[in-house]
Structure 1
Amino acid sequence: MPCVKPDPEDKDAEPFVEIDPTGRYGRYDDLLGTGAVKRVYRAFDQEEGIEVAWNQVRLRSFSEDRPMMDRLFAEVRLLRRLRHANIIALYNVWIDEEGSKLNFITEVCTSGNLREYRKRHRHVSLKALKKWSLQILMGLEYLHNHEPCIIHRDLNCSNVFINGNIGEVKIGDLGLAAIVGKSRAAHSILGTPEFMAPELYEEEYTELVDIYSFGMCVLEMVTREIPYSECDSVAKIYRKVTGGVRPASMTKIKDPEVEAFIERCLAKPRARPSASELLMDPFFDGLEDDSSSSSLSNSAPPSAAAATANRTQQVAVPTGLD
């Protein structure tokens, strides 16, 4: 079904450049971000009166790349099934056959991704960093305890998003995620090299690879430096990771408590704790007593949760995405 085109004669209309087939969502020309396969625009939900993100992928660019197409559709299928305060929510999805584009509407985090946000704000307390970390862990716990288990496989600070006005953090970009069965084992080599656990390279791993990546996220949040930035090639990163050599940025950590927590996350798979276990770590002691922050709850406030449920229940799945 082609997208509804804005009426240029209607002077009172919103300045949308595109409208979804239902007429509910309008896309602005403002680009929020670009990835390897998609562009994300600012958009508006006219029914709820909220800003949203309009994700757009030009399918023609990948018509000969079946694995990439499968990954794109896998992300949409995954998002449809997930309901958690720390996971980006999907509201609608459709294919524009005429323009050969896959479009999906997700919630938007107003302050962008955590990497850029941290770069903009150099002076952040350890307490704030712990709050962000705690929310990422709550999202991971949800994914890992999902039935079946979901492994993100590409967790890094550019795939974590934040609403800076309330300190709310959400995991996004699930295009490389794997759904695994009761064995909880996966086999493909995928991810961002600097954040990949050693066992990922060995093609035999579990959801604990996300905990390793989470540890690297905490390291980046603390140091404002991407791990292994001292390496000028993927091959050098690979040699250090598989050899158990820590990133040079670890030497910049001054707080022994922070260093010990990160080391727990980077431990060998058998010694590496689960997300649920890390949530009980003394590293987070005292945060649950901070009643001034709503970001520590496991779910959104009732009204927000209800609104999200109403929107996500209306997701229609185009042919090929079932």
Structure 2
Amino acid sequence: MDDSGSGHNPGDGDDEVAEVDPEGSYCRYKEPVGKGRFKTVFRAFNSQIGIDVAWSKVSAESNHLSEDQLHSVAKDMMTGLELDHPNIIKCFRCWEDSEHRCINLITELFTSGNLRQYRNMHKHLDLKAVKRMAKQILRGLQYLHGMNPSVTHGDLRCDKIYVNGHSGEIKIGDLGLATLLPYRWEEHEGHKGVFDTSVDVFAFGLCMLELITLKQLDPQHCSNWPDLLAEVQDEEARTFIAKCLGSPEQRPTAEQLLADPFFAVKQVAKPASGMDGELNASAKNLSALQSDQGGEKRRPEDALSSGAGGGDSGGEASIAVGRLKGEDYEFCFKADTMEGKLHFLLTMLGVTKPGETDQLRRDIEFVFDPETDTADSLAGELSQQFNLSPTDTEICAAALKEYLAKELGSEAND
């Protein structure tokens, strides 16, 4: 594409452009810039006004959607075109491609990434900055919940909130995927599949807790939030988050939270970095997912290298060691030791969605050599082979690290 942005025909010799929209205004580039459970995101360009945008594609094939389900998803996503608020991602175009059985969505592009990525890059974040982010998220929720009928996001997480690093602007994204949402909340907090605005308030509380503690928290992996809440040093912040994470009938609305004294009272700013801010991403994810560690924090690398299993709760774990549930799969590792190497059987069970009866099962055998192999490299290979989402790749590595920590720790104690 030339500097003017006028060349938008994929057949004009421009190898970067993969597709244009039916009206010829938007050009999609080939290389994806992000991938989630339901969709793949590409960088695109509006050749009419000369701005970068994001082009998301939801495939019926990869999401196992029938024609009726695909139409329903398209209808959900098109509701985003009607939303207009400074803290909600702006949607420009949305259309269903019947020939390729996919849905295309054009939205704003935020070059600073999502809030989780941004927070991990800036570990020493003042509580005053966290408040500023929180107020913008709440304003977006207040707008959605105040619509008639009210709009519930249903899957609010730090990786679905986007940041403009130059201005500090925060916007909620990934709306309109209600048909695709798995039963993440069905067995949690008594919601049992009932999605109302209180679900978003609880999820907002988890986002706040993640911003302050630097521990990744998602709706399906938040059983250890009371321990993390106890780590919050600022008393007012701890009280504010506790209100969001209370029982559904006692949770305040987004409007009530915006009027909370937490925002009105001026106080001395305190660092909001977590106690283990030096941990790398996989270590933090592992710590956040391990609800059986009794609040103890440890590096998985330390456990692997020293054999110190640590944190054994004496059978009180809610999830078996080496078994973690991700977005699309539940990962379960088992192994036997032969000639100094671990011979593994990995079982990947597909996470079923409401109404599904058949569960996908994959059994993979492999040999793991602790001298040369790593959990992250193995998870990366599995990700490429089975097209795992980024979250599932991290969870797969975390499950293997936990199993290895236990296995090598047991050998060290023999």
> Same fold judged by TM-score > 0.5?
yes
2:231 is aligned, of 222, 235, 252, to 252
Once residues 94 and 153 of structure 1 are traced to their aligned partners in structure 2, the CA distance between those partners, rounded to angstroms, is 23
1:210 is aligned, of 200, 206, 226, to 200
Query: Post-superposition shift, 1:101?
Result: 2.8
Bigger Cα Rg: 2
Pair 1:101–1:65, CA change in 2 (3 A)? closer
- Cα distance per residue 1:163-191 (max 9 Å; x no partner): 1111111111124449xxxxxxxxx9734
Counterpart for residue 29 of structure 1: 30
SS in structure 1 at match of 2:229: helix
- Cα distance per residue 1:132-161 (max 9 Å; x no partner): 111110010011000111111111111111
Query: Post-superposition shift, 1:248?
Result: 2.4
Counterpart for residue 113 of structure 1: 114
Once residues 189 and 84 of structure 2 are traced to their aligned partners in structure 1, the CA distance between those partners, rounded to angstroms, is 30
Counterpart for residue 302 of structure 1: none
Higher relative contact order structure (alpha carbons within 8 Å, sequence separation ≥ 6): 1
Q: Which amino acid aligns with 2:259?
A: M
Query: Is contact 2:230–2:238 with CA below 8 Å preserved after alignment?
Result: no
Pair 1:72–1:189, CA change in 2 (3 A)? closer
Pair 1:67–1:280, CA change in 2 (3 A)? farther
2:261 is aligned, of 269, 282, 297, to 282
Query: Post-superposition shift, 1:280?
Result: 0.7
Pair 1:268–1:42, CA change in 2 (3 A)? same
Counterpart for residue 222 of structure 1: 212
Percentage of identical aligned residues: 38
Runs of 5+ unmatched residues, structure 2: 1-7, 267-414
1:126-165 aligned within 5 A = 126-165=127-166
Query: Post-superposition shift, 1:5?
Result: 4.6
Once residues 69 and 112 of structure 2 are traced to their aligned partners in structure 1, the CA distance between those partners, rounded to angstroms, is 28
Counterpart for residue 270 of structure 1: 249
Find out whether 1:200 has 2:191 as its counterpart.
Answer: yes
TM-score normalised by length of structure 1: 0.72
1:53-92 aligned within 5 A = 53-62=54-63, 64-65=65-66, 69=70, 72-92=73-93
Query: Post-superposition shift, 1:130?
Result: 0.7
Pair 1:93–1:260, CA change in 2 (3 A)? same
Runs of 5+ unmatched residues, structure 1: 179-187, 288-322
- Cα distance per residue 1:265-310 (max 9 Å; x no partner): 11222321111111111211279xxxxxxxxxxxxxxxxxxxxxxx
Query: Post-superposition shift, 1:88?
Result: 1.1
Pair 1:169–1:28, CA change in 2 (3 A)? same
Find out whether 1:7 has 2:8 as its counterpart.
Answer: no
Query: Is contact 2:114–2:163 with CA below 8 Å preserved after alignment?
Result: yes
Q: Which amino acid aligns with 1:133?
A: A
SS in structure 2 at match of 1:198: coil
Query: Post-superposition shift, 1:129?
Result: 0.8
Once residues 197 and 67 of structure 1 are traced to their aligned partners in structure 2, the CA distance between those partners, rounded to angstroms, is 29
Pair 1:86–1:71, CA change in 2 (3 A)? farther
Query: Is contact 2:115–2:161 with CA below 8 Å preserved after alignment?
Result: yes
Query: Post-superposition shift, 1:36?
Result: 1.4
Mean Cα deviation higher: 61-70 or 134-143: 61-70
**Runs of 4+ with >6 A deviation:** none
Once residues 97 and 67 of structure 2 are traced to their aligned partners in structure 1, the CA distance between those partners, rounded to angstroms, is 18
Query: Post-superposition shift, 1:64?
Result: 4.7
Counterpart for residue 362 of structure 2: none
Query: Is contact 1:75–1:176 with CA below 8 Å preserved after alignment?
Result: yes
TM-score normalised by length of structure 2: 0.57
SS in structure 2 at match of 1:151: coil
Once residues 195 and 26 of structure 2 are traced to their aligned partners in structure 1, the CA distance between those partners, rounded to angstroms, is 40
1:99-110 aligned within 5 A = 99-110=100-111
Once residues 93 and 226 of structure 1 are traced to their aligned partners in structure 2, the CA distance between those partners, rounded to angstroms, is 31
Once residues 228 and 215 of structure 2 are traced to their aligned partners in structure 1, the CA distance between those partners, rounded to angstroms, is 7
SS in structure 1 at match of 2:205: helix
Pair 1:270–1:192, CA change in 2 (3 A)? closer
Query: Is contact 1:52–1:106 with CA below 8 Å preserved after alignment?
Result: yes
